[in-house]
Amino acid sequence: MGIGIFGSGISALNAAQIGLSTVEHNIANANTPGFNRQQIVQTARISLDTGAGFIGQGVDVSTVKRIYNEFLSTQVLQGQAQASQLETNFQQIGQINNMLADSDAGLSPAIQDLFSAINNVSSSPESQAARQAMLSSAQFLASRFQSLNQRMTNIDSSINGQISSSVTSINSYAQQIASMNKNIVQVQAAGHTPNDLLDQRDQLISLLNQEVKTNVVKQSNGTLNVFIGAGQSLVVGEKPIVLKAVQSLSDPSRLEIAYDSGSSIIRAQQNSFQGGNLGGLLDFRNESLDAAQNALGRVAIVLADTFNQQHQLGQDLNGDLGGNFFTQSVPLVNSNSGNTGSATINASIASSSALTGSDYSLRFDGGTAYTLTRLSDNTVTSFATLPQTVDGLTIATTGGAVTGDRYMIRPTVNGARDIAVAISDTSKIAAAAPIRTTSSLANVGSGHISAGTVNSVFPVDANLQQPVSIVFDSPPTTFTVTGTGIPGSPVAGVAYTEGAPITYNGFTVQIDGSPAAGDTFAVTSNTNATADNRNALLLANLQTQNTVAGGTASYQGAYAQLVSQIGNKTRELEMTSLAQTSMVNQVIQSQQSISGVNLDEEAANLLRYQRAYQAAGRVIQVANTMFDTLLSL
């Protein structure tokens, strides 16, 4: 009996000691990331059948289990991946939002300064100081465009670095998880569950999940197969699959994610890498950064183009027609580095106002056919042959393409980078109009002619096309037009309607009132026009004209739309990120309420096992005393 009591006491002592060790382990790891509290599982030994009935033989500790809730852990993973993606996207877009919305560093003040300077020139067209101020304001505006674009380019370069860093982290986690799988299989072969190794593997999966959305599938041998993004394999058993950041085939300035098989690089769809920091970086680059840089470039292109067109219709202080005031960007065309054909795709801007701000993907379908995809909304347009014009963009080819060849066309991406002031001489500012209208002093009627406007088709050599005379016939219901360059001159019998436009040689005038027979009006070249401000006024009017986005917005209006869109997206991401983070914290709290270490509970367990240990020791002492008594008989 003493030996039976002694054996039961020893088993109780061992169980209490294991319980104390487990509690101590829980307390020590209370703040260890990914640790799940552990608990001993005790089972009663098989009772001994005696004549007096079954007598208990003590207790065994069958195992030490970790308190783990797979459902809550999966919810945490799902929530963390989305929270990381939203947080990364929000942090990145915040840079653009702060830059564009800055009242000092933004674009709107620079645009306002330019047109204020143009108004000053229109008030004093002969003033060299006003003209110099106009050039300085234009240079400041171009510099502001370039500065904003450079900042976006720097952000794009930073995204490359972050993508590369994220890929390195993912590969490291994959390698460690594969190694953990191997160790866990080896340990489980001995018949025990390696709780701490399982916790460490789960923690690695959690860290991986914060880089890219992660799903796991448990195998019968205890390993976990890991899948990322939209279901791509990353870890299969004990074998990790290596990712690599590689140069994009369509844009050499950018990195993309591919699989490295050792002997070859397997490129993947970039939108398949969802969730986590990596998903947030890709979303930001594709949805916000590209759109913002393109929208900024479109404003620069439209401003330069429309300003140049009007400036070319004016006359400078030297009596010459105005030239380009700004330099203009041309569309960027990248041939896919995987192309096998020799074709060169050329793109030019046919109408800056019709530009959408989107990028385009062009694919050669064979024969002479091409398919163009507008990437902003995936609108597809098929062409039987090139050249073709779509969305204000003319696309042409030299031929030599092979079926499947692809090209990336970015019409506006470099618009803000390339804008610059094309003139440095203040006398080259075309503030005057190149025509002058006069009424003959011999006129007897009440008709009077307007100052006239120059059209976009005005001849390059204005002096060779002037003068033009308008002489009213008898009766004065018609008039005859004569002058250099008038087709089939003279043009007789033109019906007169008061105030109706009269257009010849690229200019338009109106005659009001009631001219008499023989009344003559003339349109001549403008000379000695230092005080003429007519073209400067038209240049100033461009500020409020809707010339962007198909004639729906002004320069500042289009920029304000960009600022608003980025601001709204930033706010949306901020609120969504906060809500997602709050939800994840709630799920983590639920998980920790089950699996986390509660120090108060562990303190109670510590006391419980301590007393059990003391009691077991007392039992052993009693058994020893009984045994000594037997020996003394």
144 and 280 in a single domain? The answer is: yes
Is 439 inside any structural domain?
no
User: Both tokens of residue 31?
Assistant: 């703040």
Domain that holds residue 476: 456-525
What percentage of the chain has pLDDT greater than the value 70?
97
488 and 574 in a single domain? The answer is: no
208 and 162 in a single domain? The answer is: yes
DSSP state letters, 202-227:
HHHHHHHHHHS-EEEEE-TTS-EEEE
What percentage of the chain has pLDDT greater than the value 90?
80
* Structural domain total, the chain: 3
Tell me phi and psi for residue 558, to 5 degrees: -65, -40
14 and 81 in a single domain? The answer is: no
> What's the confidence (pLDDT) of residue 61?
92
Helix segments in 509-597, DSSP class H:
534-541, 555-595
Would you tell me how many other CB atoms lie within 10 Å of the CB of residue 93?
26
Is 348 inside any structural domain?
no
Is 359 inside any structural domain?
no
Range from 152-156, 185-189, 623-627 that averages highest in pLDDT: 152-156
Is the per-residue pLDDT at 236 higher than 50?
yes
DSSP state letters, 293-349:
HHHHHHHHHHHHHHHHHHHHTSB-TTSPBP--SEE----EEEE-TT--S---EEEEE
Last residue of a domain, one of 485, 510, 525: 525
At residue 1 the predicted structure's pLDDT band, cuts being 50, 70 and 90, is very low
Is 448 inside any structural domain?
no
> What's the confidence (pLDDT) of residue 460?
55
60 and 89 in a single domain? The answer is: no
Q: Which candidate, 238, 241, 243, places its Cα nearest to that of 178?
A: 238
468 and 610 in a single domain? The answer is: no
77 and 58 in a single domain? The answer is: no
Is 412 inside any structural domain?
no
193 and 166 in a single domain? The answer is: yes
Mean pLDDT over 364-374 rounds to: 95
52 and 144 in a single domain? The answer is: no
Tokens 């050669």, residue located: 364
Is 272 inside any structural domain?
yes
511 and 609 in a single domain? The answer is: no
Mean pLDDT is lowest, of 51-65, 225-239, 298-312, 346-360, for 51-65
Cβ–Cβ < 8 Å for 150, 105: no
- CB-neighbour burial class of residue 22 (10 A; exposed 0-12, middle 13-18, buried 19+): buried
Is 376 inside any structural domain?
no
Mean pLDDT over 560-576 rounds to: 96
User: pLDDT tens across 15-50, in order?
Assistant: 999 999 999 999 999 999 999 999 999 999 988 877
Q: Which amino acid is at 189?
A: A
d(CA 99, CA 59): 70
Mean pLDDT over 368-383 rounds to: 95
89 and 20 in a single domain? The answer is: no
Is 58 inside any structural domain?
yes
276 and 243 in a single domain? The answer is: yes
Chain mean pLDDT for the chain: 92
Last residue of a domain, one of 487, 510, 525: 525
